Amino acid sequence: MKVSDFLAPGNALAGVRTADKRKLLLQLSEWAAEALDLPTETVAEALAKRESLGSTGLGGGVAIPHARLAELKAPYGIVAQLRKAIEFEAIDGQPVDIVFLLLLPAERAGEQLNALASVARKLREPQTLLRLRKAGGADELYLAMTTD
């Protein structure tokens, strides 16, 4: 599975302003809920429940908040480049400036793992991270995340 299978060009958000992790997750929940025609609370609560198990901040300034939703038929992603890094309780204690929100169908376990693995693999590539951080707009951000 490729990131472009579940990340649309319109879901690349460059220069996002946010004060903290909670507000960021709410902003991303609102964006996703509108696109998926779901209540914002459904998305926000699923993300909060997952974060309560442990932070999705992977280290190196990257986080992949994710959740399973029974209402979804396919994975859905949003990539966000933050204007200013925020505290995210990442495993390395470093603030986060690149966030990939991933919403997954509740029932397709194999597909979920493939989607999450493809995002994690892409965000471990130093060249990808450099391109994401230097992206001057949504188009560059999308290309950085989806180009091999």
Q: Which residues contact 66 (CB under 8 A, 6 or more apart)?
A: 47, 50, 56, 101, 102, 103, 104, 116
**82 catalytic, yes or no?**
no
**Taking the chain, what is the end-to-end CA distance rounded to the nearest angstrom?**
13
Q: In Å, how far are 10, 29, 64, 147 from 2, measured between CA atoms?
A: 17, 23, 16, 10
Burial 10-25 (b: 16+ CB within 10 A, else e): ebbbbebebeebeebb
Structure tokens at 130: 């450099």
Set 66, 76, 122, 123: catalytic member: 66
Residue type, 12: A
Q: Which residues are catalytic?
A: 66
